[in-house]
Structure 1
Amino acid sequence: MSTAEIASAGERAVLERVRSQLARVTEPHGLVIGIRTLEPPVWQSEPEQRIDERPVRIAACPSVLAVLDALAGADRAGVTVLLTDQPESELGDAVLARLHRGKLLEADRYTLLGDLLDARTLDPRIRAESWLVDALIALAGAEALPSVTGAAVSRRRAVGLVAAARLGVDPEQQDLPGLVAVFDETAVRSGWRVLGEAERAGLVTHLEELHGRGAGAVATLAQQRDDVLAELLVAAAITAAPASETRAAIALGGFTQSRFPTPRPTPADLTAAGRAAVEHTRRATSARVSQQIRRAEALLDELDAAAVATYSDVLPRGFGERLAHAATSLEAPALTALEAHVEARAQQHRVSRVRAALRLQRWLDTRPTADYRTTGEALAHHARELAWVDRALAQVRAGDADPRVAAVLTRVAAQAGPARTRFDSAFVARLAVAPDTPAESLAVETLLPTVVGPLAHTRGVLLVVVDGMSGAVAGDLAERLTDHRSGWTEIVRSADGGREAVLAALPSETRFSRASLFLAALSVGGQSDERAAFAAHPFWPPGGAVLIHKAGLAPRNGGDLGPELETALAPAEGSPRVIGVVLNAVDDALGKGRQSIDPAWRPQDIPGLPQLLDRAATAGRVVVLTSDHGHVLEHGSQLRNHSGGGARWRPATEPVGPDEVMVAGPRMLSGDGRAVLAATDGLRYGARAYGYHGGATLAEVAIPLLVLLPPGVDVPPGWRQTRGAPEWWTGAAATPASEPAPAPRSAETTKTRKKPSAQGEGLFARPAPAPRPARRSGRGAALLASPIFQAAHAEMPANRVPAPAVFAAVVDALVKAGGRLPSAAVLAAANSPGRNPRGLVTAMGRVLNRDSYAVLTPVDGGRAVALDLALLDEQFPPKRS
């Protein structure tokens, strides 16, 4: 029988002790080894053993006489081992003289452990925990422990060795969500359940020391239930409910009593364990996890607590309830809770539609009024505000499968749609009497000489014309392209940081407006005319220009762009100063229906655009992203049959009817210079499609203009960073609508404009005027009144932190939004559009984040900013009246 087969740890200790002594003896024949036992000696195994191929006889000697008898019968050819509890003083010198080393040797489980581990030292505290000694002996005998030969083994290390062997992973290398994943494995749970009570309790204590009491709840649940993850997701939903939720309280009692023995975990313990399970589901998306999530919903039903699912960040039912609540309330905190659900990423289109409804409601709350003095004023207003309205309207009109959500989207669209139409009506009245080329704003025929040409004199330019791109689509693209991860920066010419729009040729169709763009004159032409004229313009700097249409983008020979384009974009000497490229994705989508599925646009939705941007960034080219006209989407339009025109215009052969406008003059390039255009987005003259263009609405006639700087490129003279989205879009503040933004100054006026004063060296050395702090009464004012804040702010150099009024404005905006805002909205609240949001948050954090407690932090990769309201009150307690 081998040593590993000996059942008793005490007997194993004896054999290991004998083995260690035999290794030190050259000639063991007739050797007698005496071993002291603490209790009367008993040997239950076979007395005849073989140790390292040597015969050994074990004799249990409960008395001195038994010892003498054993000595008399000692095998002269083998080894005799005497086990006795008699003291050496009773045995006498004559007996001791016959024993190996002249004394009785110790042999217990602890000495066995030392022999098995062969460690340099063992923490004495290990001896006091019999479960730990037994576990280490069993695992070492099974060769299930890593070598610790020559090492000093502490108690923590010893427990860690046992835990790692039993769980299959080192718990010190895991976090609590990782521990949930471990116990969710069937093999781990099976092994966990067969452990002795003492060992299991000791390991639970170790896990709680590492990961908190929530780890104990996870481990105990694994002993009782099979689907650990599903059970913990139920716990997460129940414990996330507010204290006033009686259904959750009843469910919690039923859950703990049916799943845990006494003492049962506290609600705080279950909260920690549940949150860890939720985090595990975020990390481990698989078919099995999806099944466990559905199982959790069934478990909630068994507890008669289905309604509690709304408090879950994971359960699908919770997402549906949160979606409905966010829609019916149209409040920022409800939307924040919706976005926290794991389903929000997979169903982002549904979240976007509710968010769009909230934004439109904010816009309506500003009581927008439509009154334009010029077409240029209307174009600027569209670029700075109405394009965002169009984005939101496209989202809400896409609807939702949930009747509760669909009803809200329908209602908001019914309110916002007519309000938006009033602006088109005001615009078409000005368009009907507009001159050929407006002096106060950009037109499609003046874009190249006024914007692209001057930029090209500073550095190389990539002009990307996305055929049919509206201001709404451009806004989607800009939001993603200027994300902090991309490194692109949007710049504008306007002194107030607002975007510009470009007036299209009429009708707003490709054959009229795109030709006018590339020919830099109101013209009708095809691709060959466009290429020839584009290259021959006299306003280009040395290096010239080249124009490439869709066919030139086709990849060849392993490249992802056409060879002509690859050559032109290569950052080499002699490459064209201006490269123009035409992309047709948006115009094509109007017929194929891509926007009927998802109205949002991402750069990857436009084939060729990501590759072009990548090449431009490498070469350091400024990117001018524009179009030749915009479009409107189908949402229940009226058909008026006419021939000889387009989808949104007709010849002026019949009188003007409702929702139509007659336009005549040099800008009208069709037929005899006059035509009737659709004046609202609810009218068409041709076959039904997913979208149309050619009409007179701002969405079709106001061409978007985005100018993007690649990473590391300085802002050109006369340009500045854009101020971003309107306040009602970001949620920074809802203010009554002001007069429409004035149009940008003409090129002639721009030449005489004074240069802005230089900024100081420090981040806040010469700040822009801060928001006025007068008569503040919100949380921001309370912060400024706090002596703790005043002292912390006074300690910092003036050029290292913003003015106190900035703190008040940002805090008030975040509090109003429920503690979270997009970075652009925070910058707007601080009156610092165009700044690096991380710089502002870092500077404010020097005061607010006392003792490394994060009151104000960037989240979502820097795209948003979060304010911990409870921590703000704790760190800077408001004065109580």
Structure 2
Amino acid sequence: MTAAELGSAIENAVTSRVGDVIRTIDSEPSRSAVGRRVVIGIRTRGEPVWTGPADDVLHSHPVRFVACPSVLSVLDALAEAPPPSDTYTVLVVLTDRDAGELGDDVMARMHRERLYDVSKYTLLQDLLRARQLDPQLRGGDNAWLVDALVDLARSGQLPSMVGLTFGRDVALGHVVRNRFAVEPSTLDLGGLITALDDVATRTRWRDLGDDERFGIAEHLVERLGGAAEVVLRLATKREDLIAELLVADVLARSPEDDPKAAHAFGAFVHSRFGFEEPGRNDLAAAGAQAVELVTHAVTDHLWQQIRYADTLLAQLNGVAQAHQSRVLPSGFTARLELAAESLDESALSVVDDHHLAAGEVAHVRRLRAAVRLRRWLSTPSPESLNPAAALRAHARELSWVDAELGQVRRGSSNSVVAQALGAISKKAGARRATLDQQFVRGLPEVAQTVPDDVCAVEDFLPKIVAPLVRNHKVLLIVIDGMSGSAATEIVNSIADNRRLGWTEVVRSADGGREAVLAAFPTETAYSRTSLLTASLVSGTQDDEQRAFPKHTFWPPRTRAVLVHKAGLGGSDGRDLGAEIDAEFVPRKEPQVMAVVLNTVDDALSRGRQADEPAWQYEHVAGLPQLLGRAAENGWVVVMTSDHGHVLEHGSNHRPDSTGGARWRLPGGDIGSDEVLLSGRRVLVPGGSAVLATSETVRYGPRTHGYHGGAALAEVAIPLVVLLPPGMDELDGWAVNSLGAPDWWTGRTAAPVKRPVVAKPSKRGTRKPSVDQPDLFAADGPLLSRGAQLVASETFVNTHKGQPANRVLKPEVFASVVDAVLVAGGRLPVADVLQAAGTPGRNPRGLVAALGRVLNIDQFPVVDLIDNGRTVLINEKLLNEQFPKEG
């Protein structure tokens, strides 16, 4: 709107107002004396300006308009003599002075001794050039809205409404858009908080008149609820809006019957809101919305507010309630300490829910390890553990224990958490040491003769790798020094990344892993050389390089290549060495390539293990690239080590330079934490060595980890075999279906029940018979849900429509459904495979076969979840798709 247009609109509004007053005067004939002058005072919102004709006629009365920017100019205007007239004349005085400034004498000469406002409604209509204004705008409750609209229109912040109707809702939208710099149609509580967190917007809000603030608040509360009033009132008086709301979130969540919490809550609301306190629910809703904003976009500014909220909470003596917050640093600390004190899974889940948990991975991981170890300590401990059983136990359970012990032993800077970690470390470490001592008792015999059901390191290539090479291209990855715990974590990280598509298989029919027996002492020169030369010898890389391609147990014409660390580095744009890339080129002859990676062994001396004992496959230099090449080219991956290791955690130094870090040559007394081994599998000169059996003993300088001793973690070599994407089965191997121990996952193992299975009739209907008891027979057995399923007409018809060579027998469906439902709808794949009678089968294949019948129209009655570790059956969908009959 131009200045001329604005001036014209104001003049029209003044003229309209003066006309209304004249009509009122005319309705009182006794007051219409000839020659009398009526003075009408008009109060303007700014400096009075009149650009129209000074003299005019309104309703047959001469009217003079005079702009008076000062009291003196008002007096001058009043002093002028009125022009002659047959009726009364009107003097319109436009002034921005109020009645107090003009004084009683001047006001006495004004009509009705008052100053009139111009017609806001008329002025607004003229400013907008609208055809019609919503009649609701004329109401007294909307005076603030008209004033706000006039201000916006005069400043050119309202669009022209030429020929249109201007409604109240549209008007409110324009005011909200201007005052908060937001789009009103999409404004929600979060958007309101974000807008008022801006200093300029908050200042604009505070500078509004009381009536307008009240009107806007009333409108927003109607739209967004009482929480909007909390936000608006806080923004009126407090500078750090989000910090205030984060404190509100804590205190509103606190129990009302806690005296200290109630006192902090009362102090907060009274100091912020006075006697007109908002409801607790509204306060909680506003606080919760601030929490959502913080968790979705943390900026430097928000971090300042988060930290300041902690200060405010402390000022209110509300720190004891900090655990209620999932964003405040004090809340994370409080949750961490509560979980440490209870070592309870539910308390740990509360820690996980905190926004800072993702950035405090080490703290949370160590606390989770403590919770797991507490569960492990509640499981039965074996009375005896011979070497064969110990190796198997390490592969399936104790390696998981070692990983968790490695975590808790790293400790914490928080004294409460540190105390909890120390206590569980002591208890679990003592039990774990006892198992090591049980294992060590049988080692003297193992030093000479390998148990029948154990694969020794020297037999690894001929017994495990060579048979695979006959039908598959094999990539043997030897991660030097990788312990069972490190292998467990590396493989878990591979399995968790479902995009990679690898399937782990094992030789055991029950679906569990095995470990390989190392040579003694458990060092690279003895055990790795024995592995790669397939003989009990000590040696070097050169010895390994010469022997590996020439093994007579490789299938005829096998191309066998061994690459050590030096051949791994990329060049010329490659991420792996040219030698390795060349081997992945497809060939007709059998292929086996062994690659030695030293990342884990190097970490023991170079420091990584001191800060973070956990391993991911990405942490092992070259492993992601090798897995990628193998997956692309269809190679079976065999991942193993030459020995394990133990980590430093307060070791006892017994200086002895005759051997290595964890072994020495015979001489002197043999301690209770040492073992003397002699025999063909002890490869030091003389065939005898004293090995440390306790993790706390070392003979060399202090580092971050050691190997060479007789602890189970050093002797047990992990064995992992992975099938590339698209290869689901391997002759003589079964899918690793046991997974993590129950104490590690936190699940409760459920017994697998064998149901009463009814044989479906040929016609697809239930017929009482000897094989199929009547579900409703008074004295017959009650059919299980699985039996009811396979007897249903829907199942029979769907099952019959499947290819005979691809469909499972009805008994398998019944057994699996019953086993899973007994367990509450979820069951580990190992138990499901057991129920199906196929413990070595690929669980993906089993679930796919079940789904072809049960998942009618793609409704997921049965599914594989938890990264392939758990089978889920949705009982509600099952009942909908296959209704129970009768």
Q: Give the TM-score of the pair, scaled to structure 2.
A: 0.72
Q: CA 1:6–1:344 in 2, change beyond 3 Å: closer, same or farther? A: same
- Tell whether 2:580 aligns with 1:580: no
Number of positions where the alignment pairs a residue of Structure 1 with one of Structure 2: 734
- Aligned pairs for 1:522-533 within 5 A: 522-533=536-547
On the 8 A contact 2:6/2:127 being kept in 1, the answer is no
Q: CA deviation at 1:687?
A: 1.7
Read off the aligned partner of 2:748 and give its amino acid letter: A
Q: In the alignment, what sits opposite 2:349?
A: 336
Per mean C-alpha deviation after superposition, the further-off stretch among 141-150 and 709-718 is: 141-150
What is the rounded CA distance, in whole Å, between the counterparts of 2:586 and 2:615 in structure 1? Answer: 32
CA 1:130–1:35: 2 relative to 1, 3 Å: closer
Q: Which residue of 2 aligns with 1:557?
A: 572
- How many Å separate the matches in 1 of 2:867 and 2:143? 50
Rate the CA distance shift 1:608–1:242 in 2: closer, same or farther, 3 A.
farther
Match of 1:220 in 2: 233
Looking at structure 2, the residues matched to 343 and 68 of structure 1 have their Cα atoms a distance apart, in angstroms, of: 73
Say if 1:647 and 1:686, in contact at 8 Å, map to a contact too. Answer: yes
Deviation at 1:130, TM superposition (A): 5.3
- Percent of aligned positions with the same letter in both sequences? 43
Residue aligning to 2:3: 3
CA drift of 1:153 comes to 8.3
Partner in structure 2 of residue 409 of structure 1: 421
In the other structure, the counterpart of 1:65 is 61
Counterpart Cα distance in 2 of 1:171 and 1:620: 57
Give, in whole Å, the separation in 2 of the partners of 1:491 and 1:606. Answer: 19
Instruction: Give the whole-Å Cα distance in 1 for the aligned partners of 2:211 and 2:718.
Output: 72
User: For the Cα contact (< 8 Å) 2:121–2:146, is it kept in 1?
Assistant: no
Is residue 809–residue 830 contact of structure 1 (8 Å, CA) maintained in 2?
no
Q: Partner letter of residue 108 of structure 1?
A: T
Q: What is the rounded CA distance, in whole Å, between the counterparts of 1:11 and 1:185 in structure 2?
A: 34
Report the AA paired with residue 702 of structure 1: A
Task: Identify which of 362, 367, 385 aligns with 1:349.
Answer: 362
Match of 2:511 among 497, 503, 507: 497
Q: What residue is the counterpart of 1:512 in the other structure?
A: 526
Pair 1:380-2:392 in alignment: yes
Aligned to 2:670: 656
Question: What is the rounded CA distance, in whole Å, between the counterparts of 2:711 and 2:234 in structure 1?
Answer: 63
Residue type of the alignment partner of 2:601? D
Q: Are the structure 2 counterparts of residues 46 and 423 from structure 1 closer, same or farther at C-alpha, using a change threshold of 3 Å?
A: closer
Question: In structure 2, the residue corresponding to 1:482 is in which secondary structure?
Answer: helix
**What is the identity, as a one-letter code, of the residue corresponding to 1:624?**
V
In the alignment, what sits opposite 1:424?
A: 436
Partner of 2:629: 615
Give the Cα separation in 1 of the matches to 2:518 and 2:161. Answer: 79
Contact 1:145 1:165 in 2 (8 A): no
Moved more, 538-547 or 265-274: 538-547
Give the alignment of 1:175-574 within 5 angstroms.
176-204=189-217, 207-208=220-221, 211-260=224-273, 263-373=276-386, 375-434=387-446, 435-457=448-470, 459-484=472-497, 486-493=499-506, 494-537=508-551, 538-539=553-554, 544-569=559-584
- Distance in 2 separating the partners of 1:694 and 1:127: 93
Q: Deviations over 1:556-596 (max 9, x none)?
A: 23333333234444x65679843322221111111123212
- In 2, the alpha carbon distance for the partners of 1:712 and 1:535 equals 29
Rate the CA distance shift 1:604–1:137 in 2: closer, same or farther, 3 A.
farther
Q: What is the identity, as a one-letter code, of the residue corresponding to 2:663?
A: W
**Cα-to-partner distance string for 1:425-477 (whole Å, 9 max, x where unaligned):** 11122222125444313332333344334444555443322111111112222
Contact 2:373 2:404 in 1 (8 A): yes
Question: How many Å apart are 1:64 and its aligned residue?
Answer: 3.2
Instruction: Give ranges in structure 1 of 5+ residues lacking alignment.
Output: 16-32, 50-55, 70-82, 84-105, 737-786, 814-822, 867-881
Per-residue CA deviation, residues 197-240 of structure 1 (Å, 9 max, x unaligned), is 45444544555566544333223321221001111111111122
1:11-160 equivalent positions in 2, closer than 5 A: 11=10, 49=51, 57=53, 62-66=58-62, 108=122, 111-112=125-126, 115=129, 129=142, 131-132=144-145, 135=148, 138-139=151-152, 142-144=155-157, 159-160=172-173
Secondary structure, in 3 states, of the residue corresponding to 2:441?
helix
3-state SS of paired residue (1:578): strand
Name the SS for the 2:380 alignment partner: coil
Call closer, same or farther: CA 1:557–1:455 in 2, change over 3 Å: same
Provide closer, same or farther for how the CA distance between residues 203 and 574 of structure 1 changes in structure 2, counting only shifts above 3 A.
Answer: farther
Give distance in 1, aligned partners of 2:170 and 2:829.
50
Counterparts of 1:124 and 1:677, CA distance in 2? 97
Q: Output the amino acid matched with 1:230.
A: A
- The separation in 2 between residues aligned to 1:613 and 1:686, in whole angstroms, is 36
- The CA deviation at 1:694 is 0.7
In the TM superposition, what whole-angstrom CA distance separates every residue of 1:719-762 from its partner, at most 9, and x where no partner exists?
A: 214322111111113899xxxxxxxxxxxxxxxxxxxxxxxxxx
* Structure 2 counterpart of 1:750: none
CA contact (8 A) 2:124 2:149 kept: no
C-alpha offsets along residues 772-793 of structure 1, whole Å, 9 cap, x if unaligned? xxxxxxxxxxxxxxx9xx99xx
Preserved CA contact (<8 Å) 2:408 2:421: yes
2:477 and 2:596 in contact (8 A); partners too: yes
SS state of the match for residue 704, structure 1?
Answer: strand
Task: Provide, for residues 572-630 of structure 1, a one-character-per-residue CA deviation record: whole Å limited to 9, x for no partner.
Answer: 56798433222211111111232122222223332222333333344444433221110
For the 8 Å contact 1:810–1:830, the answer to whether it is kept is no
Aligned to 1:265, the other structure's residue is in SS state: coil
What's 1:680 paired with?
694
Q: Report the TM-score, using the length of structure 1 for normalisation.
A: 0.72
1:131 Cα deviation (Å)? 4.8
1:111: how far off? 3.5
Q: Matches of 1:278 and 1:830 in 2, distance apart?
A: 46
1:637 aligns with one of 630, 651, 654: 651
More displaced 10-residue stretch of structure 1: 710-719 or 629-638: 710-719
SS in 1 for 2:429: helix
Q: 1:859 to 1:521 in 2, by over 3 A?
A: closer
Residues 472 and 590 in structure 2, CA contact (< 8 A), matched pair in contact too: no
Which protein has greater RCO, CA pairs closer than 8 Å, 6+ apart?
A: 1
Change (3 A) 1:596 1:147: farther
Whole-angstrom CA distance in 1 between matches of 2:549 and 2:695: 36
Query: 1:656-680, CA deviations, whole angstroms, 9 ceiling, x for partnerless residues?
Result: 3321122222322221222221122
Letter matched to residue 529 of structure 2: A
Separation in 1 of the partners of 2:162 and 2:513?
71
Cα distance in 2 for partners of 1:608, 1:151 equals 71
* TM-fit CA distance, 1:546: 2.5
2:747 to 703, 726, 732: 732
Show CA shifts across 1:142-188 (max 9, x none): 45468999999886665445434333333655664454333222122
Q: What CA distance in whole angstroms lies between the structure 2 residues aligned with 1:719 and 1:140?
A: 79
Instruction: Within 5 Å, give how 1:703-782 maps onto structure 2.
Output: 703-717=717-731, 718-733=733-748
Mean Cα displacement is larger for which, 282-291 or 252-261?
282-291
Maintained 8 Å contact 1:441/1:502? yes
The CA distance in 2 between the partners of 1:547 and 1:37, in whole Å, is 105
CA distance in structure 2 between the aligned counterparts of 1:803 and 1:735, rounded to whole angstroms: 13
Contiguous gaps of at least 5 residues in structure 2: 24-39, 66-91, 93-119, 752-784, 799-812, 873-886
Matched, 1:600 2:614: yes
Tell me the secondary structure at the aligned position of residue 254 of structure 1. helix
Amino acid at match of 2:576: L
Shift of 1:332: 1.4
Q: Do 1:362 and 1:728's aligned partners in 2 also have CA atoms closer than 8 Å?
A: yes
Q: In the superposition, relative to structure 1, how do residues 207 and 448 fare at CA in structure 2: closer, same or farther (>3 Å)?
A: farther
Please report the RMSD computed on the Cα atoms of aligned residues, expressed in angstroms.
4.8
The residue aligned with 1:764 is none
Aligned partner of residue 684 in structure 2, secondary structure: coil
